[in-house]
Amino acid sequence: MASHRKPRPTGTRVAGIRTPALATAALTSVALLSQTADATPSDDGRPSLEEVEKKVDDLYRQAGSATEKYNAAKEKTAKQRKHVDRLLDDVAQRTQKLNEAREELGSFASAQYRTGAAVPETATFLLADSPQDYFDQNQLMSRLTGRQKDAVDDYVAQQSETMKKRREATESLETLTESQKDLKTAKATVQKKLATARELLSELTAEEKARLAAIEKKKQQEAARKAAELAKQQEAAERERQEREREEAARQESGAGSGTGTDTGTGTGTTEPSAPDASYGTKAEKALAFARAQIGKPYVWGATGPGSYDCSGLTQAAWKAADVSLPRTTYDQVNAGTTVPVSQAQPGDLVFFYDDLSHVGLYIGNGMMIHAPKPGAYVREESIYYDGEGSIHSVVRPA
């Protein structure tokens, strides 16, 4: 999924060098010119590099959101198609039974005709659209034998149920048609966004592409720094937790903790989520092992493996390897577990991004995750801050 990056000023800083006022002014001018070169449209009307970068990132994010809508429409369409197939099979079987019941009634009419006891209305009944109405109007039932009445009852029941199933199948086919239209629309939206992004990138000069790569590298370095900070915070929190456990164990051994009512809380009214149990760790290891084995495979929107993945396709497949079923889309996966603070993320947790939940990755610890980023990229390890701290929506523990 693509990222929505807020423009950031890019200044030039010279550290550890004392310069005269004039030289300082010159350096400042150079820095301002450098910023202007990236941010100001050129004389030929072409957008600036900064504008192109923001536009491409926006397009990738929009494509990511459309991909999740496509995934949802595809899943819905597949379920509806199966439902329609079952209904059509049921209708076919019921039609066969209806024909058999009709034949049995026909044999009764033939027998009555041969013996001279045929009821004239029987033939009309067999051709009637609504046998029950015919019975009500003509009181045919009073003229039939017990066996014939049973056959008529069976025929009426079979016809009523068959007509009901046919109506249901027709309605389901109409719903399926609408879902297929939604699927087609979502697919076209993704393709259009990606085509526009590719066109913008293709118009960049070699120098602009190099500068864009340098900007991206700088952002990756900042993301790695943030990930390292989170890792330190989590390590400190884990040491503190272990220390509390040792102190509690010591109190219990000395008997000081029995009935003392000792409260080690901070008085803030908040509680920390409990740490995942051992079974979660075992499952998470399986999910992470699967995800690591996919590193290097291409991102393809709508893909669920084994040769390629989109973001939610990868997380779904990873947890499936641990015998945990996740829904197909990010919109549903975010509700498939317990939300925890980013500071308490554990390996195996799902990290969701952006307000529209258009991206998800699998947390591996130390502020890092494995994810399928966006078109043109490959499954890889990356900082959860790859698009800035503000891009993180939530962390969910799925099992």
Non-local CB neighbours of 334 within 8 Å, separated by 6+ positions:
350, 352, 357, 360, 393, 394, 396
* β-bridge partners, 378: 298
Could you give the maximum distance between any two Cα atoms of the chain, in Å?
A: 127
CB environment 191-205: b (16+ within 10 A), e (fewer):
eebbebbeebbeebe
DSSP annotation of 273: P
- Calculate the alpha carbon distances from 156 to 88, 146, 336 in Å: 20, 15, 47
CB 56 within 8 A of CB 200: yes
Residues 297, 304 contacting (CB under 8 angstroms): no
The token pair that represents 373 in the structure block = 């980023």
Residue 350 near residue 282 (C-beta atoms within 8 A): no
| Residue 311 among the catalytic residues | yes
Contact at 8 Å (CB) between 348 and 283?
Answer: yes
Give SS3 for 71. helix
Comparing CA positions, the residue from 300, 71, 78, 80 lying closest to residue 186 is: 71
Helix, strand, or coil (residue 258): coil
**H or E element that contains 114:** helix 49-114
The catalytic position among 4, 83, 311, 393 is: 311
C-alpha torsion angle, residues 206, 210, 211, 216 (rounded to 10) = 140
Which phi and psi angles does 323 have, rounded to 5°? Answer: 65, 30
Q: Which residues contact 364 (CB under 8 A, 6 or more apart)?
A: 288, 291, 347, 370, 381
Residues with a catalytic annotation lie at 311, 359, 371
